[in-house]
Amino acid sequence: MLKECIRTKSGLFTPIAVAYALKWELFAPIAALYALKAALSAPIAAVYALKAASSAPIAAVYALKQALFAPIAA
């Protein structure tokens, strides 16, 4: 990509074209890292959602237990 971006119509290199091409060459790996981070974070978020979903029935059983045994304790 760098070679294609830095040549002008006359075939000469220009500092602006070089800077523009270098910007994209340098930021492409950073963008790839952010995409990788997002891809790796999705399964972790799914695990947390699964944990929350599996904890809900346990909380419901605990609340039912509290409701049933509260009159006995009083």
| Segment 54-64, tens digit of pLDDT | 888 888 898 89
39, amino acid identity:
A
This prediction's pTM: 0.41
> What is the rounded CA–CA span in Å between residue 19 and residue 5?
10
User: Does 13 have pLDDT greater than 60?
Assistant: yes
Q: Which residue has the higher pLDDT, 30 or 15?
A: 30
For position 11, what pLDDT does the model report?
A: 58
Give residue limits of the domains in the chain: 2-73
- The phi and psi torsions of 33 (rounded to 5 degrees) equal -65, -40
Per-residue pLDDT of 17-45, as tens digits, reads 777 778 878 888 888 999 999 898 989 98
3-state helix, strand, coil split of the chain in percent (to 5) is 85, 5, 10
- Given a contact cutoff of 8 angstroms between Cβ atoms, the answer to whether 21 and 1 are in contact is yes
